[in-house]
């Protein structure tokens, strides 16, 4: 997946209309592009910034049915999400794995209540069940979560759900869409919708933000899959249109994994404001969140509010033996959920449906809003079905239920039940399997390179060809120069931010380490992209400014 090649192919195709033009390169847009292309429709996707730049890289990293939604009585949404959870584990086993979640019990009477709910949760998953929930003793809770607050602890409930790397899945979806025949291009902004004499949308004008070059792209259908920005595209179509999205902000703090444990996750079932909070091991760190704060504005780089940070630290301090402080936070990031706008002035995001919504404008513009990562595939299927009706395309069945995601061929095991384990900081990248790690057909060493699945051998080949590329970019994180080169050559990375925020997750794991890596990353990228010293300095400065927003002052 090379961006220069994508632009060349876009230019070559300028005189032939596309079947489907997708605006937006997050989970939803990428899912739509993949579904459309895999059905055989000529498809192009345009992303203003970078793939998963917004909400889709800022999730809690969970593939789940939504225990909270079950509590709210949304059984249909939970059942749908649990089915999709099973498909994700099957189709992207290099990125999705099973995770144990533990609810600590400080009063015995709640055990029956939680077990009743989780038993229903298990039953709703049917044949796609990850395994039964069960009660565990106080001793087992402490063994699994040694950092848990132990005073008055009586025991716990353990259940299974899924975890994944969101931005890596987005990149792999883009690669899969390309393999199915789509053009998928980042850093290209749609600035105008074209309409025919009858007022129907028939294409877009887009500008390549790296060169300033404009492209007029015509298609039989246009899909607006821009997340919290859907209203901006709807305004292009119909100035003065009523808002369809109400953004809700979710904030996460990243701590050292030692605050809680090594393998298992914590679910705090009810916080002071009635929500849930997770403490999830992720890529060798501990991800704690999230919040649900209604906002009236949105941006590509939302920032955590002070009250959100305080809420997470305060709540974690009630359940961790060692209460975390501001100085312990390695990175803080915020994401905006594109929830359907509430009716009748209701401002509570808890009352806004998490299910997706498809809007067909009089012009024929198809807009998809709402939903969540776990159900991206179903959202895409429903959207393309609507596109077929709107544009009069030849009816073709969805095939993504059985379609493996790029990289799946090199996943470590068919059910991906074992977690990837990040190597110790400062350790060289593992060229050989560590002792005790399964090897052989269908199995790979489970360090962070396992996230690349079937692309892993190509990255290891780069390390062998250029030993300097095998060195760690910073001793605090396991990423190497070979991954930077691979990101530019095969994953359309154009900026230092693209690499450090989304191709590798350094910015989200440890913002200070990411800042320290930036000069080396810029140097490698400049060589690959043919950029000069001024470009390198500009990229380092821009990324440093951005990354400081992920630190608590």
Question: What count of Cα atoms within 13 Å lies in the side-chain half-sphere of residue 118?
Answer: 23
DSSP 233-294: HHHHHSTTPPP-EEEEEEEEEEEEGGGT-SS-EEEE---TTS--EEEEEETTEEEEE---EE
DSSP 281-347: EETTEEEEE---EE-S---SS----HHHHHHHHHHHHHHBSS---GGG-SEEEEEEEEEEPPSTT--
Which CATH number goes with the domain that contains 271? 3.30.9.10
DSSP 512-552: HHHHHHHHHHHHHHHHHHT--HHHHHHHHHHHHHHHHTTS-
Question: What count of Cα atoms within 13 Å lies in the side-chain half-sphere of residue 112?
Answer: 2
Q: Which of 316, 337, 358 is the last residue of a domain?
A: 337
Instruction: Specify the pLDDT at position 347.
Output: 46
DSSP one-letter code for 153: -
Domain shared by 285 and 376, yes or no: no
CA distance 280 to 268: 11
87 belongs to a structural domain: no
Q: Extract the tokens encoding 141.
A: 């809770």
CA distance 254 to 183: 35
Domain shared by 476 and 523, yes or no: yes
Q: Following CA atoms 389, 368, 230, 248 in sequence, which dihedral angle do they give, to the nearest 10 degrees?
A: 160
449 belongs to a structural domain: yes
CA distance 102 to 146: 12
15 belongs to a structural domain: yes
Which CATH number goes with the domain that contains 487? 1.10.8
Domain shared by 366 and 226, yes or no: yes
Domain shared by 451 and 527, yes or no: yes
Cβ–Cβ < 8 Å for 278, 267: yes
What is the SS3 assignment for 432?
A: coil
Element (H, E) at 485: helix 481-490
DSSP 178-247: HHTT-EEESSEEEEEEEE-TTS-EEEEEEEETTT--EEEEEEEEEEE--GGGHHHHHHHHSTTPPP-EEE
Domain shared by 131 and 192, yes or no: no
DSSP 33-92: HHHHHHTT--EEEE-SS-TT-SGGGSS--EE---HHHHHTT-HHHHHHHHHHHHHHHHH-
Q: Extract the tokens encoding 66.
A: 């939504």
The 8 Å CB, 24+ separation contacts for 384-391 are: 384/20, 384/32, 384/35, 384/36, 384/39, 384/41, 386/358, 386/360, 387/20, 387/36, 387/221, 387/223, 390/221, 390/360, 390/364, 390/366, 391/19, 391/20, 391/220, 391/221, 391/364
364: left (phi over 0), alpha (psi -120 to 50) or beta: left
CA distance 140 to 263: 13
Instruction: Specify the pLDDT at position 356.
Output: 84
What is the SS3 assignment for 420?
A: coil
326 belongs to a structural domain: yes
The total number of structural domains in the chain stands at 3
Instruction: Specify the pLDDT at position 15.
Output: 82
Give the pairing of strands 285-289 and 245-256: antiparallel
466 belongs to a structural domain: yes
- β partners of residue 451: none
pLDDT tens string, the chain, 553 residues long: the values are 899 999 999 999 888 899 999 999 999 999 999 999 999 999 999 999 999 999 999 999 999 988 777 777 778 888 999 999 999 999 999 999 999 999 999 998 889 889 998 999 899 988 888 999 999 999 999 999 999 999 999 999 999 999 999 999 999 999 999 999 999 999 999 999 999 999 999 999 999 999 999 999 999 999 999 999 999 999 999 998 888 888 999 999 999 999 998 899 999 988 887 788 999 999 999 999 999 898 888 888 999 999 999 999 999 999 999 999 999 999 999 999 888 765 554 444 443 445 788 999 999 999 999 889 999 999 999 999 999 999 999 999 999 999 999 999 765 433 333 333 222 333 333 333 332 222 333 333 468 899 999 999 999 999 999 999 999 999 999 999 999 999 999 999 999 999 999 999 999 999 999 999 999 999 999 999 999 999 999 999 999 999 999 999 7
262 belongs to a structural domain: yes
Q: Extract the tokens encoding 279.
A: 């403490």
Phi and psi, residue 131, nearest 5°: 135, 160
Mutual orientation of helices 533-548 and 511-529 as an angle, nearest 10°? 160
Torsion sign over Cα 178, 184, 185, 186: negative
Domain shared by 138 and 265, yes or no: yes
Domain shared by 136 and 184, yes or no: no
68 belongs to a structural domain: no
CA distance 399 to 198: 33
Q: Which of 286, 306, 337 is the last residue of a domain?
A: 337
Domain shared by 198 and 209, yes or no: yes
Domain residues for the domain of 223 are 3-55+167-244+349-402
Domain shared by 180 and 298, yes or no: no
Which of 338, 281, 334 minimizes the C-alpha distance to 312? 334
Domain shared by 433 and 524, yes or no: yes
Which CATH number goes with the domain that contains 230? 3.50.50.60
Q: Extract the tokens encoding 455.
A: 């692309």
Domain shared by 159 and 253, yes or no: yes
Domain shared by 390 and 514, yes or no: no
Q: Which of 337, 363, 380 is the last residue of a domain?
A: 337
What is the SS3 assignment for 453?
A: helix
pTM comes to: 0.91
Which of 16, 12, 9 minimizes the C-alpha distance to 220? 16
66 belongs to a structural domain: no
CA distance 187 to 179: 20
DSSP one-letter code for 387: H
């Amino acid at each position: 997946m090379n961006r220069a090649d994508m632009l060349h192919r876009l230019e070559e195709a300028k005189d032939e209309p596309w079947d489907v033009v997708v605006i937006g390169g997050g989970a939803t847009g990428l899912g739509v592009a993949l579904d459309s292309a895999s059905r055989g429709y000529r498809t192009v996707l345009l992303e203003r910034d970078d793939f998963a730049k917004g909400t889709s890289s800022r999730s809690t990293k969970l593939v789940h049915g939504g225990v909270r939604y079950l509590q709210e009585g949304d059984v249909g949404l939970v059942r749908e999400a649990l089915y999709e959870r099973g498909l994700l584990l099957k189709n992207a086993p290099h990125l999705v794995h099973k995770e144990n979640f533990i609810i600590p019990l400080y009063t015995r009477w709640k055990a029956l209540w939680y077990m009743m709910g989780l038993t229903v949760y298990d039953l709703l998953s049917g044949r796609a069940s990850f395994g039964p929930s069960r009660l565990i003793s106080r001793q087992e809770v402490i063994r699994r979560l040694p950092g848990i607050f132990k005073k008055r602890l009586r025991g716990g409930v353990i259940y299974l759900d899924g975890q994944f790397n969101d931005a890596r899945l987005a990149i792999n979806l883009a690669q899969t869409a390309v393999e199915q025949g789509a053009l998928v291009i980042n850093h290209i902004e749609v600035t105008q919708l074209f309409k025919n004499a009858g007022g129907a949308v028939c294409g877009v004008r887009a500008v390549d933000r790296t060169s300033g070059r404009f492209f007029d792209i015509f298609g039989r259908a246009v899909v607006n899959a821009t997340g919290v920005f859907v209203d901006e595209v709807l305004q292009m179509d119909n100035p003065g249109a009523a808002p369809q999205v109400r953004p809700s902000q979710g904030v996460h703090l990243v701590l050292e994994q030692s605050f809680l444990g090594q393998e298992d996750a914590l679910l705090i079932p009810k916080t002071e404001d009635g929500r849930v909070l997770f403490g999830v091991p992720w890529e060798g760190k501990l991800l704690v969140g999230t919040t649900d704060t209604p906002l009236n504005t949105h941006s590509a780089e939302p920032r955590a509010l002070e009250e959100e940070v305080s809420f997470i630290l305060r709540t974690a301090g009630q359940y961790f033996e060692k209460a975390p402080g501001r100085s312990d936070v390695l990175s803080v990031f915020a994401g905006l959920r594109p929830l359907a706008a509430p009716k009748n002035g209701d401002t509570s995001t808890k009352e806004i449906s998490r299910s997706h919504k498809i809007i067909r404008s009089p012009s024929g513009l198809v807009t998809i809003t709402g939903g969540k990562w776990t159900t991206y595939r179903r959202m895409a299927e429903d959207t393309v079905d609507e596109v077929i009706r709107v544009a009069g395309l030849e009816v073709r069945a969805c095939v993504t239920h059985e379609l493996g995601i790029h990289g799946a061929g090199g996943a470590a095991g068919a059910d991906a039940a074992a977690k990837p384990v990040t190597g110790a900081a400062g350790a060289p990248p593992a060229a050989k399997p560590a002792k005790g790690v399964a090897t052989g057909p269908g199995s790979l060493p489970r360090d962070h390179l396992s996230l690349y699945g079937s692309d892993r051998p190509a990255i290891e080949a780069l390390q062998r060809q250029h030993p300097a590329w095998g060195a760690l970019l910073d001793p605090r994180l396991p990423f190497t120069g070979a991954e930077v080169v691979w990101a530019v050559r095969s994953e359309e990375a154009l900026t230092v931010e693209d690499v450090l925020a989304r191709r590798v997750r350094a910015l989200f794991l440890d913002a200070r380490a990411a800042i320290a890596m930036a000069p080396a990353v810029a140097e490698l990228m400049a060589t690959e992209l043919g950029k000069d010293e001024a470009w390198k300095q500009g990229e380092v400065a821009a990324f440093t400014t951005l990354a400081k927003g992920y630190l608590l002052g």
